[in-house]
Structure 1
Amino acid sequence: MVIVSPRFNPPEFVPEVLDSLLQGSPVATFVIDGQHRVTHWNRACELVTGIPAAEIIGSSDHWRGFYAAPRPILADYIVAGEIEQAMRNYEAGHCKASEVVVGAYEAEGFFPSLGERGCWLYFTAAPVLGPGGEVIGAIETLQNITARKLAEQALLDQNSALEAAVAERTRALEQNNAELRALLQERCELQEQVGSASSTAFSAMSSMGEMGVLLQALQRFNSCQQAGELAQLVLDTLVSYELVGAVELRLPGQAVRMFPDSGGLEAATFANLRDMGRIVGFHSRMIVNYPCLSILVSNMPRDDERAGRIRDNLAILAEAADARVRALDAELRRQQGEAAISGSLAGINKLLAAIEGRQKQSMAETRMAIHRLGETLEKRFVHLGLTEQQERYLLETVRDGLDGLIDAQDGQLDIQSELSAIIHRLTDAV
């Protein structure tokens, strides 16, 4: 440490005008010479450090304004040419070269001994050059950035609090999602229990505007027995919504299309749009596609809220109508199958009746032939010269064989009768 006499005079490189300028500056500033002695210590610096200029000028004790023990400050490092050491002594990122003045450096740090609760200072130190460009001193300014640092810390604290709040909110949302999933599961279980109340619910809700229109249409779908009737009901529902549109129902081998007041819609429009997706909107038009049905609307409302409700209702309407089309197709296939089976059974029954008649006739003719054979044998026995006992024995033997033949034919007739009874039962069941 260098001790300077109170009679120390500032070096000649500092003009008197510089002292006047520094004293009038609101920025805390001090100057040291090449021997690290303070040459200037303005009023603002006195207020920041709490040390009067009279106690510090001429000495190398400028460290007292910032530290509890002697140590170099930024200006000392610049005068000594040891700025790399300064970079190592400050925290990472708290000391860097100035972007404005060549050879100047900036740093910041917290000083717990300044003020009641410590103080954050921002330093800027630059070399003072002599006529030959040599460093003959350094000038350093101080700015109190405590308010900025407190604001930054407050912002960090606020961000931390927000992150904690977001995390807590996320946990709450996850819990709510779990509760919603449980409620959905409970809803699925309850849906099986509300079947008996559906008719009352439909009646109560039928007067509820757009939803009432949809519910009335759904109720009437089951009564539709023809594809054309179902298509007309869908169009009537569109009219109830004040919509202009068309409908196409697709059954195996046929398509039912209705285009009343369709606003220029044509059959080709369905062919172009029915494979584009489930629900496709374009300007004021929208199409709802299902495997067996498409609904095309040409004047969808512009109001987003009502358009959303109408879109949802039409999706439900189309899904229910598609299910009814498939049910009609299944019913048609069932009726065609029953008709085919009935026709086949009738033909089989007729054939069995003819076979039974021929068998009965054959049995009658067989009995007559057996009777005539018995009479013929009795007549022929006379010419054989057999005894009466031999004739009787031979005749009984022949008759037993013929009776066995007749019994076998009767058994076949019984089987035919059972088969006819089965055919009659199948016909009645169909």
Structure 2
Amino acid sequence: MADQSIIRITKEIGEIQKNSDLSLAVAFRDRDVRNVKAMIIGPHETPYEFGFFEFSFKFHKEYPRKSPTVTCTTTNGGRCRFNPNIYSSGKVCLTWRGEPGEEWSAAQGLESILLSIQSLMSSNPYENEPGFEHANDTSDKANQRDYVAKIRHETLRISVIQKLEDILGITSANDSPATPIEYDPQTDGLDLDDSSAIWEPFKDLYKRRFLWYYDTYLEAMKDAKKDVKDGQVFTRMPFEGGSNAMEGKFNYTELEKRLQNIKISLNAELDRWATEGLSAKNKDTTVPVNLSRQFDQIKESFKRDDVPHNVELENGNPFVWVITYFGRPMTNFDGGMFRIKLHFSPRFPDEQPRVRFLTPVFHHRVTSDGILCYIPNANRCEDVKQHIEAIFNALEEENPPYDPRTQVHPEAHRLYWGGAEGRKIYNRKLRRSVQRSMEDF
């Protein structure tokens, strides 16, 4: 008889992965389902906004009767305490770990734990400190402000910038030398506690999300620099002590430079993809053959569509597609014509396409430099047609639900959801970009 705990864990992981949640991700190695890596993206309008926070879960054989062991691994090597309830040692204190009436229940699961942790990442995390309700009003308000300020700085420095530098192999003068993180299939199945096994299942996700949120990171830094100065020392909180603290100095000028270098490195990666792709094409390997076949099928399907979209290969390279998108009648895109470039990795579909508008457009799902925020079907990530459909749907969605996790163009986002007057201004800006799009052809 199959292990019931394994069945339960596998089901819970599958449900999270199937939902394509934009703020949660989970992964495990095929032969080690009891050891799970999870990622939480910091919530909007908090000092954790769009930071990448990783956690390790170790599920016991008694699960779900016994809760899993949860450890935060985004701690800057045990030097940073990101929350009163998330220690620099990695310990995570949740309410079900001892409060009367709030003990662990077998009805809970992986997703509920992640959501509980995410709820700790609030706009005022100082409130998570036990005894907060009895704090002195005057000193308390100052501590709250100072605590939020340093969490915002360290979220950007450690969970975003340092994380991407490690992945890309960028060495910073003020942090430990970085080594590119690569997945080695030869280490698959090794225990997660084995430090010799480098495993980074969210590497591609981090790169794509960084490009989505780049403008928001820059805007957050610009706003923060109004309140703190470079070299200003972090304020120690009453509940911090010894190594279980968040020590350091503000230096947003340096962080901006490092953020920009990451963007440059990610753009350069696309050139390497194209070069590697041509080499793979010449060797007639699986990925270019698959992409070429899908290209031919999609090109033929466009010919049969009522709207005359078109697709071409750049320099005959099956890893670089250029789509000509014609705005659908009776929408804000009516009369527009946009060129959209799709870059494919030689490791597609393990690495997902990156999509950029070559024709400028003012849209709440498109960054200022053309990166499109779209959500493909997680169960069909190898199907390029469903990627293209998701791209068009992201542009043409008439009444999208408010979702700050898709905030990739701060100005457009504020206007779109800024009331009737803001929506009018947004629509005018979008229509102007549509009218100008024809000038590029």
TM-score, scaled to structure 2: 0.18
Q: RCO (CA 8 Å, sep 6+): is it higher in 1 or 2?
A: 2
Structure with a larger share of its residues in helix: 1
Q: Which has the larger radius of gyration?
A: 1
